[in-house]
Structure 1
Amino acid sequence: MRPSVRPNWFSSALERRNFKGLTVDGALYFVALTFLDATILIPLFLQHVSGSPLLIGLATAIRHLCFVLPQVFIAKWMHRIPRLNRFVFRTYLFCRFGFLLVIGMLFFNSQSPWVLICFFIGHTLFCLGEGLIQVPWMDLFGRTIRPQNHGKLFGLMQTLGAVGSFAAGLLIQHVLSHPERFPYPLNFLIVFSMAFLLLTCSTLSFLYVREGVRRSEVPLEPEKKRSEPSQTLAATLRQNLPFRRLTLIQMLIGLHQLAMPFYILYVQEMPGVEMDLIGRLVIAQIVGGMVGGLLFGLLSEKFDNRTTIRWAVLTNVGVPILILYAGQQAGGVGQQSLVVLAFCLMGVVSGGWIGFTNYLLEISNDHTRGRLVAYLNMCTAPLSLLPVFSGSLLQAFSYENVFGIVLILLLVALFLSWKLPLTTIRHRRGERGVRSDRQTNAAPR
């Protein structure tokens, strides 16, 4: 009798190697993002330095525009990049070092107006770099990691990142809760320096990742030449039902993400709110991220990504409900508990990308993956301009009105999530999944 062998997750040494490398890269990246939190720390920094909601909206717009627009263009040049792993590493190396500018300026002359200029230069470079590597990173991931391991990798990445983020959150809470010991600029000097250190470690860890063999992108059949017009955005949206509905949901969810930086400004105006609560909100958001990584990774692996998306949208719906309800309270422990729970849900929301990413991978193949990612970001890119007008918007409407509109849009997204087709290749509880060699991974015709 042959001895029993422990089940192996991996089909090759390359998959095992990249599973480790991509997990470490992503986990360190998530910890670094704790120190660059766009919903708490960046708004607090810009409010302290400038006091302008317009600049907070500008930072949010830059974050989203620089993340999505490069993906639209890089997808067309994917076949001209000789080594994707080298391209990602060099982009990391150049764009992530921009934060040295703001760190240096805070250290030498924190009262200079150049602090804002250096921040926006570093912020723009960082977001631009993340946008440039998104499609190559996903292509490396999709070609070297089997679909069966997608949920495992994303779940492990998110969970490890959340554990590290929890430790980072304790440091942030300590710094924010003791302004007498950590006055400006020391507080943000610590925050940005830790972010830079972690991003450097993430960059170095990507050296471990290797590229697999690329499939030829030259059409092998005459029919593929005739189907070329269907590769336009309009034809893809018209003919690919799963992608069309996924895009609509992503756009509605994106509107909520653009409103998130203003929750902390609304909370600061509530009676009895002090910096100690702000520190606890950072911890609450990190704990939520840990729960979200486990929850959505488990849902993606054990059920299907359609279910994962539904739960992600439902979690988004809960955030403005809790924030608006807390705003109606007269203060006290009850109000603070609602705010903490809302920010905890915001952390859970951050893990929802697992379902969206895996769903997109399931409805694409090696030839269509980059194009669908580019089209998805092309549709969501215009929404990134909305925060630029946030200052005038908040003057014309109250926080409650803006958050109420966001809630209505999220309810529409929740309805659409129940209309998503089942595209998983797994068969569970009598639901027959679409075969991977047909609609799931075939280009829309």
Structure 2
Amino acid sequence: MIELFNKYRYYVIFLGHGMLLAITMSMIDFNTVFPSLVNKLSDSKVIFGALYSIMLGVPFIFNLFFSHIMRRDQYKKKYLLLGINLRALSFLGMAFFVYYFSIESSAIVVYSLFFWIFVFSISGGFAGIAYLDIIGKVIDEKDRNKFFTYKQLVSSVSALVGGLIIKKIFDLKSLEFPNNYSIILFIAFGGLFLASLLFWLIKEPPSNKQEDVKLSTYFFKEIPAILKGDKVFSRFIVVQNLTGISLMILPFYMVYAKETFQLDNSYIGIYLIFQISGTILSNFFWGRINSKWGNKAVVNLCILFGAIIPIFALIISRFGPSVYSLVFFLVGFVISGRKIGFDQYLLEISPEVERTTYIGINGTLSIFIVILPLIGGTFIEYFGYNITFLLVSIIMFITTYIFREKKQVHR
């Protein structure tokens, strides 16, 4: 048994962590549960967009700094553990403020969310870099496609368990606001803390030693040289920025549904289950695409789905809240595809010795994502959902052309 564990140690660790993390993140799913919470506290789309700008943008702003610090350190596990535990703490903080202040002063809760989301996001930034770098070191390149597919499948099934828990909590008439959201956030704290414990079992091999470089020199000299010399990577950064616009409106699908149909809480669980079901079923689809045509094809199709969904949401909303569930089913497809395709494509085009550098540059230069949710919230506030959703679709269709226009040859 011990020999078997040692042989598959890293599969057990990463898949086990993925299972616990998926259950945890279902508790505060950022496309269904969290938008519903924020909408409960404030009806301002600008505030909503600002929170999501922090959530999506903060990791990208600080990624260059984090990757610079980590590239000098041969061991990344401590950064991973610190990031995960800070994320768990942010859930605990949100649970406390929601429970104690939601009824008497929802404004205090909203202000606190800006802080806790900042903690959640900045810790996720350096944890994400360390996580991908460790995977790159302990999982052989020839096994990564299989590993990412298995990981996504395990995570999707586990997320479904989390979705059923969410539905059960919202179905309980005895659990009213803010108790229901407080319990959900506390479960998220506990789940994320337990998930972090598995990483103590990792025996991390050292990274290749890199020369210490001052951050200013690193930024002004090395980054432009990499972008100029690697057209594949520079094009990927452009695409990463543009596709962020489809991520921008994912949480607004829930807010749109609540305002269009005047939904009760029961639909939060239903939509989450549809989203997770789409994620699960799409694993087989994306795995097939990846095996047959590679990571680039997965990225291409993800972009195309991102272009179609906003138009689909506007059309299908005419048929009521139940039929509208199909929007979240398709959202699940995109979420799954991005996790399988984008990360693997970045690892595929990143030279091993510069892996953390590439991850950091990609994150930091994806600056458009920082302001997109705020722009989206402001657009919806002043121009409505129809114009905003149609504009997103147009930009995403243009992005599919940009990504496929020229043959890409890695330097």
Same fold at TM > 0.5: yes
Deviation of 1:422 (Å): 6.4
In structure 2, what is the Cα distance between the partners aligned to 1:323 and 1:20? 39
Is residue 67 from structure 1 mapped to residue 53 from structure 2 by the alignment?
no
Equivalent pair of 2:82/2:127 in contact (CA under 8 Å): no
In structure 2, what is the Cα distance between the partners aligned to 1:274 and 1:218? 57
In structure 2, what is the Cα distance between the partners aligned to 1:95 and 1:368? 27
Deviation larger for 197-206 or 306-315: 306-315
Deviation of 1:274 (Å): 4.5
2:75 match: 83
Deviation of 1:59 (Å): 1.6
Encode CA deviations 1:105-161: one digit per residue, 9 max, x unaligned: 344454244433443333221221110112121111112211111122211111111
Equivalent pair of 2:95/2:186 in contact (CA under 8 Å): yes
TM norm structure 2: 0.88
Equivalent pair of 1:151/1:298 in contact (CA under 8 Å): no
2:215 match: none
C-alpha RMSD over aligned residues: 2.7
Equivalent pair of 1:177/1:276 in contact (CA under 8 Å): yes
Deviation larger for 258-267 or 294-303: 294-303
Judged with a 3 Å threshold, the aligned counterparts in structure 2 of structure 1 residues 361 and 13 are, in CA distance, closer, same or farther, namely: farther
1:122 match: 116
Deviation of 1:95 (Å): 3.8
Relative to its length, the structure with more helix (as a share) is 2
1:257 match: 247
Encode CA deviations 1:221-253: one digit per residue, 9 max, x unaligned: xxxxxxx99964334333322212222221121
2:298 match: 308
Judged with a 3 Å threshold, the aligned counterparts in structure 2 of structure 1 residues 391 and 215 are, in CA distance, closer, same or farther, namely: closer
In structure 1, what is the Cα distance between the partners aligned to 2:82 and 2:322? 44
Deviation larger for 351-360 or 375-384: 375-384
Tell me the number of residue pairs that the alignment of Structure 1 and Structure 2 aligns: 401
Judged with a 3 Å threshold, the aligned counterparts in structure 2 of structure 1 residues 420 and 354 are, in CA distance, closer, same or farther, namely: farther
In structure 1, what is the Cα distance between the partners aligned to 2:407 and 2:225? 18
TM norm structure 1: 0.82
Judged with a 3 Å threshold, the aligned counterparts in structure 2 of structure 1 residues 132 and 168 are, in CA distance, closer, same or farther, namely: same
2:327 match: 342
1:377 match: 363
1:427 match: none
Aligned equivalent of 1:368, options 346, 351, 354: 354
Aligned equivalent of 1:188, options 173, 181, 188: 181
Q: Which runs of structure 2 are paired with 1:48-59 in the superposition (5 Å)? A: 48-59=40-51
1:166 match: 160
1:138 match: 132
In structure 1, what is the Cα distance between the partners aligned to 2:164 and 2:406? 39
- The DSSP-based 3-state class of the residue aligned with 1:201 is helix
User: Where in structure 1 are there 5+ consecutive unaligned residues?
Assistant: 1-11, 220-227, 424-438
One-letter amino acid matched to 2:241 = M
Equivalent pair of 2:49/2:378 in contact (CA under 8 Å): no
Equivalent pair of 2:248/2:376 in contact (CA under 8 Å): no
In structure 1, what is the Cα distance between the partners aligned to 2:354 and 2:7? 21
Deviation of 1:168 (Å): 1.3
Matched-pair identity in %? 22
Equivalent pair of 2:90/2:119 in contact (CA under 8 Å): yes
One-letter amino acid matched to 1:205 = L
Aligned equivalent of 1:39, options 21, 25, 31: 31
Q: Which runs of structure 2 are paired with 1:421-432 in the superposition (5 Å)? A: 421=407
Encode CA deviations 1:292-326: one digit per residue, 9 max, x unaligned: 33332443345411121122222222311210212
Is residue 28 from structure 1 mapped to residue 13 from structure 2 by the alignment?
no
Judged with a 3 Å threshold, the aligned counterparts in structure 2 of structure 1 residues 307 and 249 are, in CA distance, closer, same or farther, namely: same
- The DSSP-based 3-state class of the residue aligned with 1:351 is helix
2:309 match: 319
Deviation of 1:25 (Å): 1.9
Deviation of 1:187 (Å): 1.3
User: Where in structure 2 are there 5+ consecutive unaligned residues?
Assistant: 213-217
In structure 1, what is the Cα distance between the partners aligned to 2:101 and 2:54? 25
Equivalent pair of 2:72/2:210 in contact (CA under 8 Å): no
Judged with a 3 Å threshold, the aligned counterparts in structure 2 of structure 1 residues 166 and 293 are, in CA distance, closer, same or farther, namely: same
Q: Which has the higher contact order (CA 8 A, sep 6+)?
A: 2
Aligned equivalent of 2:394, options 386, 390, 408: 408
- The DSSP-based 3-state class of the residue aligned with 1:81 is coil
Equivalent pair of 1:305/1:359 in contact (CA under 8 Å): yes
One-letter amino acid matched to 2:146 = K
Equivalent pair of 1:135/1:370 in contact (CA under 8 Å): yes
Deviation larger for 156-165 or 299-308: 299-308
One-letter amino acid matched to 2:150 = L
2:381 match: 395
Is residue 245 from structure 1 mapped to residue 245 from structure 2 by the alignment?
no
Aligned equivalent of 1:357, options 339, 343, 366: 343
